[in-house]
Amino acid sequence: MSEKASTKSGGYEKPLPEFRPETKPYWDACKKHEFSLPRCKKCGKVFFYPRALCPVCMSQDLELIKASGKAKVWTFAIHHMGPTPAYKGEPPYVVAIVETQEGVKMMTNIVGCKPEDVRIGMAVEVVFDDVTPEVTLPKFKPIGK
Amino acid sequence: MKRVSVIGIGNTRYGVIKDRSFLDLAVEAGKKAMADAGITTDEVEAFYLGNYAGSDFINQNHLAPYVGAALRLRRDIPCTHIENACASGGSAVREGILAIGSGTAGKVLVIGIEKMNTVPTPKVTEFLAKAGDWEHEVKVGYTFPSAFAMMARRHMHQYGTTREHLAAVTVKNHTNALKNPDAQMQKLVSMEQILNDNRVVADPLRLYDCSLITDGASAVILADKGTARNLSRKPVDIIGFAQANDSFALYQKDDLTRFDATVEAANMAFQMAGVKREDVDVAEVHDCFTIAEIIAIEDLGFVPKGEGGPATLDGLTSLNGKFAVNPSGGLKAKGHPVGATGVGQIVEIVEQLRGEAGDRQVKDAEIGLTHNLGGSGATCVVHILARC
């Protein structure tokens, strides 16, 4: 059974990640404000998202490595309408795909600057948002901000 | 494999339809297609239903026999539901072709349907977002407008595509829809109006870049070519078809200005059909957002990469252009009842090839193509049709 992080605490109503055996260590690291990425011990591939089998060689011999937390903005959208009532008052917000120094891409939010200042290729670094007592989400902000 | 023809077509009106239930819409489209083919209900030997999210929009699962019973189909035939997000309709047509090709059915009914105006817009957005990667995309506030906005931004970055290029898709498709009595949008819009409209959904996409929330159903009757020749006054042959897939999540793609599934499906379908890109007179492509039409005509090989925007602005894809794209008004203006769309595209191309498309008829259309995309491009279905 997967353990769903509480949506009640702190009134946070947006979707939250599910903790499962293969994803829990990644989220535990985020909670400690450490950005990590899964790596295959057999073929060496660093990948995202955390899972039980390597996406390249299907090995189950995986580890979490400490990642740089540095990335570049690959593309982004500035949301002027939120998808659900849980996003009330939030727009405009930025949904972006960033490419980390380790070469993996992930969907995230850019924070810490005006949405209109975000650019393709902008250097960003990880920041942590403790959205509930159990869940911390990695987001990215411009380096130096 | 046996060659397959379309012998009957039927559409409901597309729009916000209050006076028809899901079943009423499905039955109306199905009965129209059977009447058009000149066949009785008892002649249908297999039924495929394309639908995306009946389980969300009308709280109903097990949808194919649900519709089959309402249509009073024979008890000794298979009724099967196909779900491939926005490509559900195209995939359902493909299954129908395979059933005939394999010899297990002689005449097949395919219905595509969605009834979406049963819930408020935020719920619609939430249900549609399920076609993306829920765990790794949706939880950061991602929606389909943001997916296509991120693609538009890469396309602008790599090829210099502009808001004028995007707006040209809207102007063209609204113009075409005005000539289509079944279309949801019946209103012309000018380039100036679009560029001055500030209703941003997910920048760089604005309200005029987005397709509509639509109720509607479309249906086709398929038969093997021999039967079609005996039965139908104007059969249209399916000369090529293919379905392909791609990375599921947007962030897993290598290039956001291209859909690999479209490129692959188009190459396979053209090879099967034995025709060239320049032979195509008319195409219905998946313009769920304006940028999607621009990318589609590039991926299908109608224009070189990066030139989809200028080609549209120059009128190459207008009703009287070099090759007409979305004469029906497309998803943008005809409407996008998700599961119906892929079937509705076939209906439009058959009307065009029969020469029965009225004011929006593409002159002397002999070969037509449909392009139906699912999710953020993880599924693509292409069909190529020819006048006999």
Contact between A30 and A136 under an 8 Å Cβ cutoff? The reply is yes
DSSP bridge partners of B369: B283, B384
Q: Extract the tokens encoding A128.
A: 């942590």
Characterize the bridge pairing of strands B46-50 and B79-82.
parallel
A17 touches chain B (CB under 8 A): yes
pLDDT tens digits in sequence order for chain B, 388 residues long: 889 999 999 999 999 999 999 999 999 999 999 999 999 999 999 999 999 999 999 999 999 999 999 999 999 999 999 999 999 999 999 999 999 999 999 999 999 999 999 999 889 988 998 998 888 888 888 889 999 999 999 999 999 999 999 999 999 999 999 999 999 999 999 999 999 999 999 999 999 999 999 999 999 999 998 888 888 778 999 999 999 999 999 999 999 999 999 999 999 999 999 999 999 999 999 999 999 999 999 999 999 999 999 999 999 999 999 999 999 999 999 999 999 999 999 999 999 999 999 999 999 999 999 999 999 999 999 999 999 8
Rounded to a whole number, what is the distance in Å from the CA of B91 to chain A's nearest CA? Answer: 27
Q: Which residue, B220, B266, B230, is CA-closest to B377? A: B266
Q: Extract the tokens encoding B385.
A: 């049709």
- Give, as one character, the DSSP assignment of residue A85: G
SS (H, E, C) chain B: CCCEEEEEEEECCCECCCCCCHHHHHHHHHHHHHHHHCCCHHHCCEEEEECCCHHHHCCCCCHHHHHHHHCCCCCCCCEEEECECECHHHHHHHHHHHHHHCCCCCEEEEEEEECCCCCCHHHHHHHHHCCCCCCCCHHHCCCHHHHHHHHHHHHHHHHCCCHHHHHHHHHHHHHHHCCCCCCCCCCCCCHHHHHCCCCEEEECEEHHHECCCCEEEEEEEEEEHHHHHHHCCCCEEEEEEEEEECCCCHHHCCCCCCCHHHHHHHHHHHHHHCCCHHHCCEEECCCCEHHHHHHHHHHCCCCCCCCHHHHHHCCCCCCCCCCEECCCCHHHHCCCCCCCHHHHHHHHHHHHHHCCCHHHCCCCCCEEEEEEEECCCCEEEEEEEEEC
DSSP bridge partners of A108: A96
Task: Identify the three-state secondary structure at position A29.
Answer: helix
Cβ neighbors of B297 (< 8 A, separation 6 or more) are B283, B285, B303, B308, B311, B312, B317, B325
* Chain B residues with CB-CB distance to A13 below 8 A: none
ipTM computed for the complex: 0.93
CA dist B258 and B254 (Å) reads: 9
Rounded to a whole number, what is the distance in Å from the CA of A144 to chain B's nearest CA? Answer: 23
Contact between B334 and B182 under an 8 Å Cβ cutoff? The reply is yes
Per the annotation, the verdict on B79 as an active-site residue is no
**How crowded is the C-beta side of B371, counted as CA atoms within 13 Å?**
33
* Chain B residues with CB-CB distance to A83 below 8 A: 122, 125-126, 129, 138, 141-143
Per the annotation, the verdict on B288 as an active-site residue is no
CB contact under 8 Å between A80 and B142, yes or no, is no
CA dist B129 and B253 (Å) reads: 18
Q: Extract the tokens encoding B311.
A: 């080609």
Task: Please determine, for residue A121, whether its predicted confidence score (pLDDT) is greater than 90.
Answer: yes
Q: Extract the tokens encoding A41.
A: 């011990």
Test the A interface: residue of B201, B207, B252 with most A CBs within 10 Å: B252
What pLDDT is recorded for position A4?
47
What are the boundaries of each domain within chain B? 4-119+213-229
* Chain A residues with CB-CB distance to B157 below 8 A: 75, 120
Compute how many other C-beta atoms are within 10 angstroms of the C-beta atom of residue B199. 10
From B86, B210, B288, B380, the catalytic residue:
B86
Domain B4-119+213-229 grouped into CATH 3.40.47.10: yes
Query: pTM of this prediction?
Result: 0.96
CA dist B283 and B281 (Å) reads: 7
pLDDT digits (tens, 9 = 90+) for A6-56: 444 468 888 888 899 999 999 999 999 999 999 999 999 999 999 999 999
* Chain B residues with CB-CB distance to A96 below 8 A: 150
Chain B residue at shortest CA distance from A93: B141
Chain B residue at shortest CA distance from A100: B251
Contact between B308 and B164 under an 8 Å Cβ cutoff? The reply is no
CA dist B201 and A92 (Å) reads: 10
Please, which pLDDT band fits residue A87 given cuts at 50, 70 and 90? confident
Rounded to a whole number, what is the distance in Å from the CA of A107 to chain B's nearest CA? Answer: 6
Q: Which residue, B41, B82, B90, is CA-closest to B64? A: B82
Chain A / chain B CB contacts < 8 angstroms: 98
Characterize the bridge pairing of strands B205-206 and B200-203.
antiparallel
CA dist B341 and B91 (Å) reads: 11
DSSP bridge partners of A130: A136
Test the A interface: residue of B139, B151, B210, B254 with most A CBs within 10 Å: B139
**Can you spell out the DSSP letters for A95-142?**
EEEEEETTS-EEEEEE-SS-GGG--TT-EEEEEEEE-SSS-EEEEEEE
Compute how many other C-beta atoms are within 10 angstroms of the C-beta atom of residue A144. 6
- Comparing CB atoms, the residue among B125, B145, B157 nearest residue A120 is B157
A23 membership: H or E segment, kind and range: none
What pLDDT is recorded for position A10?
62
Terminal Cα-to-Cα distance of chain B (whole angstroms): 18
Chain B residue at shortest CA distance from A98: B251
From B155, B174, B286, B336, the catalytic residue:
B336
